[in-house]
Each structure stands twice: as structure tokens, then as C-alpha cells.
Amino acid sequence: MSYAEFFQYKLQVLNKEAPNGEHLEGCYKTLSLIMCDLDYFKQVNDQYGHDVGDLVLKETAVLINKGVRATDIVIRFGGEEFFILLVDINPGDAIVVAEKIRKIFDEAKIEIPNGSIHKTLSLGVSEFPGDGEGFWQCIKYADVALYKAKDTGRNKAIRFDEEMLSGDEF
């Protein structure tokens, strides 16, 4: 099952568990979306090999899960990118969660054979329905915020803002 298929499945599960058969969009206060990307991950694979890269990805998932609730969903979205869905969260709280995850990760040393390494994480945050009309649009907006974090120095959590959009992107 691909990451996208797994994610779609998780959304369907959320819909089925919604009270009175309501749709996902109508049963929660806010869904917050966080896109995360390991900074300079390619260097891990290049310097230590893909086996160590796999260890780093697994530990990344563990560290991210330390910063979210049991009801939230963490998915490896592809490569070194992770997607976090914060279910039923108050508007504005997701950036606090993203910063918490960033700090957990920044303070961690990842154990690898023959030592440990330090990596950082960049995060982009958006909210549905607050930032966009569609859920998938809000995923794109979280990605836009993620790349703003990367473009402005990495190891940051940035909340999506409409000013980040240029006419070329949409």
C-alpha cells in the first residue's frame, strides 16, 4: 500500500468513526496539517549509507510521535518527509505542537552504529478549514510553509500565510 493509499484509508476510518455518520469536514473543530522534512538528510545516506539512513527515518518517526497525542496521525509521506494530522485541535494550537516536535528533535541525538548524529527538522503548518476550501489544498499549503522554513534557514516551524503564495504556484 502506498503512503497516499494509507493516508486515504486513515481518512476513511476517521469518517466512519465520526458521530452520526457526518463527514470529516463537519465533525471536528479543526484539522491541523504539519509537513516535516529532515534537513540535509541526503548527507546521512551519502556519509553513512542507506542502512543508517533507514535508522534515522525510524527514529524520526519515534521522535515525532513523542510530540503528538495518541489520536493524531503520523505518516511517512515519502523520502524524508513526514505528514502529521492533528485531529480536533483548537485553531492556532498546531504551531505550538510543531515547535514542540522541532525542539524534541533538535535536542535528540540519534544513535547509529559507532556513535550518534544530530539532525534538525523543518516543519510547515496549515489548518483545515481555516486556510483553504479543501483538505488537499491545505496539505499543499502546509508544504508551502515547509519550504518557507527551509528557504529561511531550516530547523524552523512556520505557519502558512496567504502571503507565501505567488501566482505561479496556483
Instruction: Enumerate the active-site residues.
Output: 80
| Cβ-based neighbours of 66, under 8 Å, separated by 6 or more | 101, 104
State the helix-helix crossing angle for 50-66 and 94-107, rounded to 10 degrees. 130
Whether 119 and 80 have beta carbons less than 8 Å apart is answered as: no
Q: What backbone torsions phi and psi does residue 70 show, to the nearest 5 degrees?
A: -60, -25
Return the DSSP state at 85: E
Return the DSSP state at 109: -
Can you say whether residue 147 is alpha, beta or left, with left for phi > 0 and alpha for psi between -120 and 50 degrees? Answer: alpha
